[in-house]
Amino acid sequence: MSTVNEAGAAFASGVEKLGARAVHIGMMDPAGEFRDKLVSVDKAVKLAAKGYPFCEVLYFWDIAEKTFIDGAFIDRPAFLDAASLRKYPFAEDAALCIADFSGDFGKRSPRNLCQRLIGDAAELGFDVFSAFEYEFFLFDETPESLRAKGYRDLTYFAQGNRTYSLQTSAIHGDLLQGLHDTMTTMGIGLDAIHTELGPGCFEAPLTYAKGLKSPDDAALFKNFAKAYFSRNGLTAGFMSKLSPALPGQSGHLHVSMRDRQGNAVFADPGAQDGISRLGRHFIGGLVGLMPELLAMCAQTVNAYKRLVPGAWAPTSANWGVQNRTAAVRVINDEPESTRVEFRVPSADANPYLALALCIGAGLHGIRNEIEPPGGSGENFYAATPSLEAVFPSDLGQAAERLNASTVAREIFGEDFIDSFVTGRRFEYGEYQKQVSEWEIRRYLGIV
C-alpha cells in the first residue's frame, strides 16, 4: 500500500498530465452507479493526500435510494484511486477519478473485492485479463417523457432495426461515432458497435484490459453511455429483460490469465480441445460454484426474467467449446487467445461482482484441482440439466443460496456476503409487495 504522501503525489502528477482544472470524483455504489462530485483540482489533490470521507448510506439504501436501516449515516474513510484517473468526456480541462471506501467498511465494496481477487491471482503468478460486452436498448425518450408515460408504450429508437444492420449504422453513424469518441476520450476501447436483435438494440464489445482497468472501463462505459445518449435526447437501458416479446440484454464477460512470461495459461495445444489442466480446473470451479454464487452476477429481480428457457440465456451451470448455449463458452481459436466467456451475467450486473465471481470461483477450482463435468456441444437450451446445476429461479432463492454458501464466505469474506445479501433480501422484499399488470389481467374477475 502506498503512503498518504505517495498517493497524493501520484494523483497530483496524474491530473497535471491531463491538464485538468476540475475533477469529477465518482464513488461506485453496489449497483455500479457513478455517484459524482465535481471539485476543483486543488481540493481533489488534497482529498487524494488526506482521504475522502464519504457517507456510508451507499450501502444502506436500495437502487431507488430507500434506506433499509435506521442510522446516523456517518462519513466513512475513503480514498481516491489515482490509477483510475482519466479525462472527463463532456468538458474541457476536466478529469474523472474513481473513489472507494477503505478499511473495514471498504470490505463491502464490489470494486475492492474485485481488486483483492485480482491480487490473489497475482500471488499465484497470474495476471487477469478480461473484457465485457454489453447489449442495450435505445429509446426516443427523455426522463421526463418516461415518467409521463408511466414507463409504458415507449418509443424505440431505430424501430426498424435488424441485427448487424447496415441501414441503421448508415443513418445513425454520427451518433454511434460520438459514442465511440466519448469512450476514446476516457481511454475505453470499443472493439465494435453494432445493432442487435430488436428495435433500438445495440451491442458494444469492449477491448480487453489487464486487472482492474477492465471492470472500471465496463462500469464507466455504462454510466457514460447513458449520459452521452441523454445529452442527445435519448435514453439507454441496460435492464435485463424489457418485454416477453424481446430477447434479454446480456453482459457477457471474457476472462483469461497469463503467467509472468506472458503465456496464456488456459491453453495447451497438446491437450484435448487445446485446454490446459489449469484451464480445466478454472472451469471446474466456475461451473461447480455458479449456482450458489448466481446472485453476484444476477443481482436484480429483473435479471431472473432473462434466465428462463427461450430467452437466449443459460438456465443451468454447464460448459462447452465454442458453444453459445453454454453458461461457460471456451473460445480456443488460437492458443494465445484461449479464454472463457461467462455468458450468465446480465447487462445490469455490477461488472466488479461479475469478474469477482469468475476469478474467485476459478481460483477455487485451481487450488482444489476441481475437474469440470464433461463439456458438450449440445443445445443446452433444450437439454435437461442435473438438479445440482440448475440456477435459483429468483433473487430471493439466489440470495439465500449465497448466504448459506460456506465456500462463498471463504472466498469473498463475511463482511461482503453479509452486506450484499442484506441488500438483495431487501430488494426482493420490495418486489414481493408489488402487484403486476399481468396478475391483474390474469386473475381479476376470474378467481
Cβ contacts of 266 within 8 Å, gap of 6 or more? 256, 257, 275, 276, 278, 279, 282, 338, 339, 340
- Can you point out the beta strands (E) in 224-364? 235-237, 253-258, 319-321, 328-331, 339-342
Handedness of CA 132, 369, 337, 380 (dihedral sign): negative
pLDDT mean over 134-146: 97
Q: pLDDT at position 163, please?
A: 86
- Alpha-carbon distance of 395 to 381, in angstroms, equals 21
CA distances from 36 to 26, 27, 58, 113, 224 (A): 4, 7, 12, 21, 12
* pLDDT reading at 258 higher than 70: yes
Q: pLDDT at position 164, please?
A: 84
CA distances from 315 to 196, 265, 298, 373, 394 (A): 22, 28, 12, 16, 11
Mean pLDDT lowest among 3-12, 184-193, 331-340, 369-378: 3-12
pLDDT mean over 133-140: 97
- Alpha-carbon distance of 318 to 381, in angstroms, equals 11
Split at pLDDT 50, 70, 90, the class of 426 is very high
45-71 pLDDT, tens digit each: 999 999 999 999 999 999 999 999 999
pLDDT mean over 342-367: 98
Share of the chain above pLDDT 70, in %: 99
Domain positions in the chain are: 4-106, 118-442
Helix (H, G, I), strand (E, B) or coil at 275: strand
pLDDT mean over 258-265: 96
Per the prediction, the chain carries an average pLDDT of 95
- Alpha-carbon distance of 394 to 301, in angstroms, equals 7
Q: pLDDT at position 447, please?
A: 80
- Alpha-carbon distance of 176 to 170, in angstroms, equals 10
Using only C-alpha atoms, the chain has a radius of gyration, in whole angstroms, of: 22
Split at pLDDT 50, 70, 90, the class of 3 is low
**387 or 165, which is more confident:** 387
CA distances from 356 to 7, 128, 412 (A): 25, 11, 8
Cβ contacts of 438 within 8 Å, gap of 6 or more? none
159-217 pLDDT, tens digit each: 888 888 888 888 899 999 999 999 999 999 999 999 998 899 999 999 999 999 999 99
Q: pLDDT at position 226, please?
A: 98
pLDDT mean over 385-404: 97
Q: End-to-end CA distance of the chain, in Å?
A: 63
Q: Give the CATH architecture of domain 118-442.
A: 2-Layer Sandwich (3.30)
- Alpha-carbon distance of 97 to 38, in angstroms, equals 10
Mean pLDDT lowest among 246-250, 318-322, 326-330, 412-416: 246-250
Burial (0-12, 13-18, 19+ Cβ within 10 Å), 161: buried
* Homologous superfamily assigned to 4-106: Glutamine synthetase, N-terminal domain (3.10.20.70)
294-353 pLDDT, tens digit each: 999 999 999 999 999 888 899 999 999 999 999 999 999 999 999 999 999 999 999 999
Task: Note the maximum CA span of the chain.
Answer: 70
Split at pLDDT 50, 70, 90, the class of 1 is very low
Q: pLDDT at position 4, please?
A: 57
Where helices occur in 35-188 by DSSP H, the ranges are: 41-50, 110-123, 143-148, 166-171, 173-185
